[in-house]
Amino acid sequence: MSDQMHALTPPMTTISSATTQTLTPDVAVIGGGSGGLTTAAVMASFGVPVVLIEKHKMGGDCLNVGCVPSKAILAAAKHAHAITEGEKFGVFAKGTKGKPFDVDFGRVHDHIHEVIGQIEPNDSVERFEGLGVTVLGGEARFTGPNEVQVGNTTVRARRIVVATGSRPAVPPIPGLETVDYLTNEVVFDRTELPDHLIIIGGGPIGLELAQAHRRLGAKVTVLEGFRILGREDREAAELVKQHLTAEGVDLHEFAKVVEVAKDGDGEKAGVRVIVEKGEGDAAERIEISGSHLLVAAGRAVNVEGLDLEKAGIDYDRRGIKVDAGMRTSNTKVYAIGDVAGGLQFTHVAGYHGALISRNILFRLPIKQNATILPKTTYTDPEVASVGATEAELEGRDDIRILRWPFHENDRAIAERTTSGFIKVFTTKRGKILGAVVVGPKAGEIIALWGLAVSKGMKVSDITGWVAAYPTLSEVGRRAAVEYYKGATDNPTLRKVITFLQRFG
């Protein structure tokens, strides 16, 4: 492995000036990811002068090293897995040397970067310049409450938006600095499949990449200090765990990584990980050797080098502190997306960008509503949720839990993807508070329930909706119908029906 494996690729060239200049736009945006791009595009569409500053690649982590490439490799892995499942459908395929299929990982790499390339123009410098945005390439640092410096350019704006995102967090593990390790920033540049990939971290990123690499033929071990998908519904997370284990992913929960070291010498040297499982006298140490190490142990916000103190902006290791309207302690400055310390998803950053644009443009009061923000982990089965969780509602006596399994869904049966369920949380009066889906296309199915939560809809609104047959979305409607289970046995209702029957 290269000793540069965990270094960032060089920043792309954007517009900058070698001469000293001062720009005075109405709005300055620091960061060209989802939140920054959304804000800049909205400003420009209303003819507001806006400067967008990006020090690395337009599109941010999502396009270049996050959401897009991870879903691309998952798509490749899905096709590989489909081959192994083909015999159920009467479809047979064989690879060489008795393998069920062969993988050209170089072509997988090309596929990932072709997908990035097709989406890239939407986030490009050229597109945003065409919209009327002034794009500066370089690092921004505050020099005052409403002023930032980018190279030789001073940008003085009425409002400034910080949308610098986050990066992979690197835990303080002894010996980690002595080995070449991967993060999501570089793993998609590989053209060869790892022989044995050890992953530190059992969250969404770790598990998605674990399943993708396992399905493509690598041996995979996941080491998680607590429970996998620790922020997800426990029943849903356990189902994902069962599937990954069945596919051959070696999962270790409550496994503390205490040391990392090289395994062997030269370019072909692998990695050796020492793990402690259990506590006290019952604790045991195990040693796991692999060819490659991937660190997926959370995210760290990008605040370094911004000189936030010079603008009077409060922050800590979790991010920039903001109020409900995404304003910082400096009321001229907003912080959105990952750097604001909340949910770290591309669509959340986009939501923030659209939200603050209303306030900047029209002075409308705004307030972030975290309950309407969905989240999805794109393993197979997928896990998606929105609104209140079962854990948050535990102990309340006015809650009903409605559920329906995929094995009772005709489309799932036809496609042999019957593992999973939907759970919907409502009040006893039928108001929808939240939902969780684990199963095929959960990320698509949750969209309806996100609308239901955001609009304060009731179960009756869902039962009055008609889903096309046969679709996976029917699981939601069937769960909603469960709200009325038992109504046919209601003696008062039966008396009303009997009475009406007498009138023909």
CA 312 – CA 320 distance, rounded (Å): 11
- Identify the pLDDT of residue 256: 95
- Cβ neighbors of 318 (< 8 A, separation 6 or more) are 301, 341
Q: Per-residue pLDDT tens for 346-357? A: 999 999 999 999
- Identify the pLDDT of residue 230: 96
How many CB atoms neighbour CB 21 within 10 A? Answer: 11
Per-residue pLDDT at 98 exceeds 50? yes
The predicted model scores a pTM of 0.91
Q: Per-residue pLDDT tens for 180-237? A: 999 999 999 999 999 999 999 999 999 999 999 999 999 999 999 999 999 999 999 9
With a pLDDT cut of 90, the percent of the chain lying above it is 84
> At CB < 8 A and 24+ separation, what contacts does 477-482 make?
478/404, 478/408, 478/409, 479/402, 479/403, 479/404, 479/422, 479/423, 479/424, 480/402, 480/424, 482/402, 482/403, 482/404
Mean pLDDT, rounded, for 449-461: 98
**Continuous segment of H or E residues that includes residue 479:** helix 474-481
- Identify the pLDDT of residue 10: 35
- Identify the pLDDT of residue 462: 97
> At CB < 8 A and 24+ separation, what contacts does 237-244 make?
237/383, 239/381, 239/419, 239/420, 239/438, 240/207, 240/377, 240/379, 240/381, 240/383, 240/438, 243/379, 243/380, 243/381, 243/419, 244/207, 244/210, 244/211, 244/214, 244/379
Is residue 197 within 8 Å of residue 191, measured between CB atoms?
no
Higher pLDDT: 90 or 178? It is 178
Higher pLDDT: 498 or 432? It is 432
Per-residue pLDDT at 8 exceeds 60? no
- Identify the pLDDT of residue 96: 84
Q: Per-residue pLDDT tens for 375-400? A: 999 999 999 999 999 999 999 999 99
Higher pLDDT: 117 or 497? It is 117
Closest CA relative to residue 297, chosen from 174, 207, 197, 383: 207
- Identify the pLDDT of residue 411: 96
Higher pLDDT: 429 or 97? It is 429
Per-residue pLDDT at 92 exceeds 90? no
Fill in the DSSP letter of residue 33: S
How many CB atoms neighbour CB 405 within 10 A? Answer: 16
- Cβ neighbors of 422 (< 8 A, separation 6 or more) are 403, 404, 435, 436, 437, 439, 445, 475, 476, 479
- Identify the pLDDT of residue 328: 98
Task: Taking each helix axis as running N to C, give the angle between helix 67-85 and helix 204-215, from 0 to 180 degrees, rounded to the nearest 10.
Answer: 40
Q: Per-residue pLDDT tens for 265-286? A: 877 889 999 999 887 777 899 9
- Identify the pLDDT of residue 18: 58
DSSP 154-186: EEE-SEEEE---EEE-----TTGGGS--B-TTT
Mean pLDDT, rounded, for 359-371: 96
- Identify the pLDDT of residue 265: 85
Per-residue pLDDT at 500 exceeds 90? no
Per-residue pLDDT at 26 exceeds 50? yes
- Identify the pLDDT of residue 465: 95
Please report, for the chain, how many H helices and E strands are present, in that order: 14, 25
Q: Per-residue pLDDT tens for 123-166? A: 999 999 999 999 999 999 999 999 999 999 999 999 999 999 99
- Identify the pLDDT of residue 9: 36
Look at 85-89, 122-126, 296-300 and tell me which has the smallest mean pLDDT.
85-89
Question: What would the two tokens of residue 496 be?
Answer: 């009303």
